[in-house]
Amino acid sequence: MTDEGLVDSVHLSPAHTMSKPEQDAIRLIAGHGVEGDAHAGATVQHRSRAAQDPSQPNLRQVHLIHLELIEALRAAGFHVAPGVMGENITTRDLALLDLPRGARLLIGDSAVIEVTGLRNPCTQLEDLQPGLMAAVLDRDDQGRLIRKAGVMSVVIADGWVRPGDVIRVELPAPPHEPLDRV
């Protein structure tokens, strides 16, 4: 597994929109998320999850997608770009989906996030382009669902994140738990 990658681009939206505009930098706040983003907060901010139980912890403070997924989707004919599928950080050269739960990503000079699980893609992807939701889902040889739409995380340490920042992976102590949807 690649133990180092790069930030390709960063995004945020103060409104609950699927796509997030590109920024020059984003500020991560420990226990809160991306400053100014609609999904930031100590408790769940995703509207459908908040409707079920607004007191549950926000395990989805920062969403990351790997640029390689976006490139594969483009090659398959989809009109996607970084930020379009709602991620805060687009990475490159980092095997996000292979990380175990609890892996920490040290980004730039001081930001630290901890991976909590896989993004469960929602039907809003279909509003972007028909077939997109199916394109970010797959099945393994045993028929188990594979979610490819990135990972979710919480902020452990404050810091600014900018395109070009190095992302270093710090794995938790074994045994490693595979990622599941959050």
Q: Residues 55-66: what's their mean pLDDT?
A: 95
Binning pLDDT at 50, 70 and 90, where does residue 1 land? Answer: very low
pLDDT at residue 177 in the model: 96
CA distance 20 to 62: 12
Q: What is the DSSP letter of 43?
A: B
CA distance 137 to 118: 12
Domain 4-170 has CATH 3.40.50.1100: no
Burial class (CB in 10 A: 0-12, 13-18, 19+), 17: exposed
Q: Which long-range contacts (CB under 8 A, 24 or more apart) does 126-131 make?
A: 127/18, 128/18, 128/19, 128/80, 128/84, 128/85, 129/78, 129/79, 129/80, 131/78
Answer whether residue 159 shows pLDDT above 90: yes
- Asked if 181 and 150 touch (Cβ cutoff 8 Å), the reply is no
Binning pLDDT at 50, 70 and 90, where does residue 52 land? Answer: confident
CA distance 126 to 131: 6
CA proximity to 43, closest of 28, 27, 61: 61
How is residue 79 written in tokens? 């009109």
CA distances from 146 to 38, 45, 163 (A): 27, 24, 28
Q: Residues 83-94: what's their mean pLDDT?
A: 97
Q: What percent of the chain has pLDDT over 70?
A: 99
| Amino acid occupying residue 104 | R
Answer whether residue 47 shows pLDDT above 80: no
Q: Residues 75-94: what's their mean pLDDT?
A: 97
Which residues, other chains included, contact 28 with Cβ-Cβ below 8 Å and sequence gap of 6+? Answer: 34, 35, 62, 107, 111, 113, 155, 157, 158, 159, 160, 161
